[in-house]
């Protein structure tokens, strides 16, 4: 009589470990994970507002005239509410009962929107990722980091401590923070305003003709990479820090009206043709103006 | 698309505060709670700012005016292209929150401090220091009061958001201390004054965020 086999013939000790681990993981997963999926038909340039206290928000553009929301939250005390009003879709995570802890209000959202959608996002903690959206957007966070790629609209980002990264953005960019750092990569914007107190600012991209670029911090490093073909008027001032420059600048024709009397300052023109305006200022941080490799 | 009555009113705000009241705008302010509250708050702020701006032991306004005119004529200082009122209203949040009124006052004084003080080395350093102290001391007191009121509304929590807010408040407070020291060390340093103004503004903004969050969690 053959032995009873509870496991397949190729069962190994490793398989047992995997099974045991799976059972353990299932055991610790919350029993009440909630998923919401909703679809909204919208017209051109819809407005999508998102208010979420904590979690990961991913917004992607697609070709449909529709907003799709997939929301996941764990706790029973919270609910993700999605409603349409005309050409606007409002998403809000809110408490169903009190008291609710910050963890109770945690929700992850994945949203697909038409590429011309306008976004208004408020997410205190977690992270915000926006991909390929060409409409205007406003993002406000406290601790959440913000990552935007291939945007073309007017972009306004305000964080308290969250970092901000903007990759291949082409519209007007305004960013402010207290301790968040900024990274602008392959930027093609004609206007950039970025100010942070205790954070680094890193910039690579094109200085477009007649573009206006103002980067400012209190402490930290401001690093700007220019290409040999760029053309800009440069003003770089650090009250108590250093200014390091690799650009061969022609001194201005006329003395600067606001030539600072304090700190380290640099003024001049690099390649006279297009003349974007680049203004870099720091209180006691270091400013690096470097050739882009 | 025509602007909303509130947007229309905001365009008339400066003339309104100069006591030039359009009847249509008057009717709107009477019927709109938000604009009504805004007018009341800004009126109080303006009154307080004037009290601070012209203490009895300060030189008279006419002296400042003639000094400024002379300095401008000599090209030693430059006329601001944007009025202080535009600069103030550009950042004041739309809600009129009593707890933050103090912070608005603080920034109002900071703006006045940043743009209206004597601007050149010919002026006496002592005058500069006195001017800076006259404005920054009540300003700091008012920000402290706003901070106490705001922080007390925050729930006791170890959440990353609360931690981030408190950490950033400490950072801004530290910058204010450093900038105030720089201004004291060299009161004519325009850049230091500008950074001090930025730090005050950041603190007011941060207190507004903290206040909103306190309300939200309660």
Q: What is the pLDDT of residues B141-177, one digit of tens each?
A: 778 888 888 777 766 667 888 889 989 999 999 999 9
| Per-residue pLDDT at B89 exceeds 60 | no
Contact A221, A215 (CB under 8 A): no
**In sequence order, what are the beta bridge partners of A145?**
A127
* Domain boundaries of chain A, sorted by first residue: 197-293
How open is the CA angle A159-A163-A168, to the nearest 5 degrees? 105
State the Cα–Cα distance between residues A4 and B217, nearest whole angstrom: 60
Q: Residue B36's pLDDT band (boundaries 50, 70, 90)?
A: confident
Across the interface, whether the CB atoms of B159 and A125 are under 8 A apart is answered yes
Q: What mean pLDDT do residues A158-167 have? A: 97
Sole residue written with tokens 């305004």: A174
Q: Residue A218's pLDDT band (boundaries 50, 70, 90)?
A: very high
pLDDT at position A57: 97
Across the interface, whether the CB atoms of B192 and A125 are under 8 A apart is answered no
Sort out which chain A residues have CB atoms less than 8 A from B191's CB and list them: 237, 239, 260, 262-263, 281, 283
Q: What mean pLDDT do residues A144-167 have? A: 97
What is the helix (H) or strand (E) element at residue B152, kind and residue range? helix B125-153
pLDDT at position A6: 38
Q: Residue A259's pLDDT band (boundaries 50, 70, 90)?
A: low
Number of helical H runs and strand E runs in chain A:
1, 22
**A99 cis-preceded (ω within 30 degrees of 0):** yes
Q: What is the pLDDT of residues A235-244, one digit of tens each?
A: 999 988 999 9
pLDDT at position A97: 77
Sort out which chain B residues have CB atoms less than 8 A from A198's CB and list them: 171, 175
Across the interface, whether the CB atoms of A198 and B171 are under 8 A apart is answered yes
| Per-residue pLDDT at A106 exceeds 50 | yes
Q: What is the pLDDT of residues A58-101, one digit of tens each?
A: 999 999 999 999 999 877 778 899 999 999 999 999 888 777 77
Q: What is the rounded average pLDDT for all residues in chain B?
A: 67
Which ipTM did the prediction report? Answer: 0.77
Sole residue written with tokens 């449909």: A64
Q: What mean pLDDT do residues A219-229 have? A: 95
Instruction: Nearest by CB to A197, from B160, B163, B175: name it.
Output: B175
> CATH fold of B53-217, please?
1.20.120
- Rg of chain B over Cα atoms, rounded to whole angstroms, equals 19
pLDDT at position A68: 97
Q: What mean pLDDT do residues A156-169 have? A: 97
Which one is predicted more confidently, B142 or B53?
Answer: B142
Which residue in A230, A233, A234 sits closest to A222, CA to CA? Answer: A234
Question: How many CA atoms within 13 Å lie on the side-chain side of B36?
Answer: 8
Contact B191, A260 (CB under 8 A): yes
* Own/partner long-range contacts of A10-15 (Cβ < 8 Å, ≥24 apart): none
State the Cα–Cα distance between residues B13 and B3, nearest whole angstrom: 15
| Per-residue pLDDT at B101 exceeds 80 | no
Top-confidence range, A125-129, B195-199, B213-217: A125-129
Residues contacting A277, CB < 8 A, separation 6+: A211, A212, A213, A232, A233, A235
Retrieve residue A220's tokens.
Answer: 């930290």
State the Cα–Cα distance between residues A143 and A159, nearest whole angstrom: 7
* Domain boundaries of chain B, sorted by first residue: 53-217
Nearest chain B CA: its distance from A52 CA (Å): 12
- DSSP calls for A252-274: PSS--TT--SSSEEEEEEESTTT
3-state secondary structure of B157: coil
- Say if B161 is an interface residue toward chain A (CB within 8 Å): yes
Sort out which chain A residues have CB atoms less than 8 A from B163's CB and list them: 143
Which one is predicted more confidently, A250 or A91?
Answer: A91
- Say if B49 is an interface residue toward chain A (CB within 8 Å): no
| Per-residue pLDDT at B64 exceeds 80 | no
Top-confidence range, A26-35, A60-69, B50-59, B172-181: A60-69
State the Cα–Cα distance between residues A208 and B200, nearest whole angstrom: 33
| Per-residue pLDDT at B74 exceeds 80 | no
Q: Residue A121's pLDDT band (boundaries 50, 70, 90)?
A: very high
pLDDT at position A138: 98
Sort out which chain B residues have CB atoms less than 8 A from A197's CB and list them: 171-172, 175, 198-199, 202
Instruction: Nearest by CB to B157, from A102, A179, A197: name it.
Output: A102
| Per-residue pLDDT at B116 exceeds 60 | no
State the Cα–Cα distance between residues A110 and A131, nearest whole angstrom: 11
pLDDT at position A104: 82
pLDDT at position B208: 86
Q: Where are the alpha helices (DSSP H) in chain A?
A: 13-28
């Amino acid at each position: 009589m053959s032995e009873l086999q509870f496991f397949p013939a190729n069962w190994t000790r490793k398989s047992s470990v995997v099974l045991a681990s799976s059972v353990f993981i299932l055991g610790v997963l919350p029993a009440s994970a909630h998923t919401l999926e909703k679809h909204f038909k919208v017209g051109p340039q819809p407005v999508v507002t998102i208010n979420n206290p904590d979690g990961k928000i991913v917004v992607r553009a697609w070709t449909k005239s529709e907003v799709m929301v997939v929301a996941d939250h764990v706790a029973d005390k919270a609910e993700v509410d999605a409603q349409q009003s005309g050409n606007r879709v409002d998403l809000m995570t809110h408490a169903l009962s009190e008291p609710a802890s910050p963890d109770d209000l945690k929700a992850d959202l994945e949203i697909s929107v038409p590429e011309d959608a306008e976004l208004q996002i408020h997410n205190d903690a977690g992270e915000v990722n926006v991909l390929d959206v060409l409409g205007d957007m406003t993002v406000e966070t406290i601790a959440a980091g913000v990552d935007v790629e291939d945007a073309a609209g007017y972009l306004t980002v305000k964080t308290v401590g969250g970092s901000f990264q903007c990759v291949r953005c082409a519209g007007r960019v305004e960013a402010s923070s207290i301790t968040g750092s900024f990274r602008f990569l392959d930027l093609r914007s004609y206007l950039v305003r970025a100010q942070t107190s205790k954070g680094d600012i890193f910039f690579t991209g094109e200085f477009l003709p007649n573009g206006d670029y103002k980067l400012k911090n209190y402490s930290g490093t401001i690093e700007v990479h220019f290409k040999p073909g760029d053309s800009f008027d440069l003003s770089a001032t650090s009250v108590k820090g250093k200014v390091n420059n690799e650009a061969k600048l022609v001194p201005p024709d006329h003395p600067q009206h606001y030539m600072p009397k304090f700190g380290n300052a640099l003024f001049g023109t690099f390649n006279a043709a297009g003349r974007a305006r680049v203004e870099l200022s720091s209180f006691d941080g270091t400013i690096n103006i470097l050739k882009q490799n | 698309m025509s602007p909303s009555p509130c947007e229309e009113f905001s365009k008339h705000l400066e003339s309104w505060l100069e006591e030039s009241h359009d009847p249509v705008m008057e009717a709107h302010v009477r019927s709109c709670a938000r604009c009504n509250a805004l007018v009341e708050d800004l009126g109080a702020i303006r009154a307080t700012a004037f009290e601070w701006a012209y203490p009895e032991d300060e030189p008279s306004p006419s002296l400042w005016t003639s000094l400024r005119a002379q300095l401008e004529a000599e090209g030693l200082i430059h006329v601001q292209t944007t009025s202080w009122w535009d600069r103030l209203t550009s950042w004041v949040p739309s809600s009129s929150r009593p707890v933050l009124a103090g912070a608005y006052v603080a920034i109002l004084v900071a703006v006045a401090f940043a743009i209206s003080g004597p601007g050149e080395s010919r002026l006496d350093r002592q005058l500069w220091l006195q001017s800076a102290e006259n404005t920054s001391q009540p300003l700091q007191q008012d920000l402290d009061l706003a901070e106490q009121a705001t922080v007390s509304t925050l729930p006791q929590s170890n959440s990353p958001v609360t931690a981030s807010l408190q950490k950033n408040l400490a950072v801004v407070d530290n910058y204010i201390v450093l900038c105030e020291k720089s201004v004291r060390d060299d009161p004519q340093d325009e850049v230091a004054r500008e950074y001090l103004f930025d730090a005050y503004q950041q603190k007011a903004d941060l207190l507004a965020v903290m206040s909103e969050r306190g309300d939200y969690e309660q």
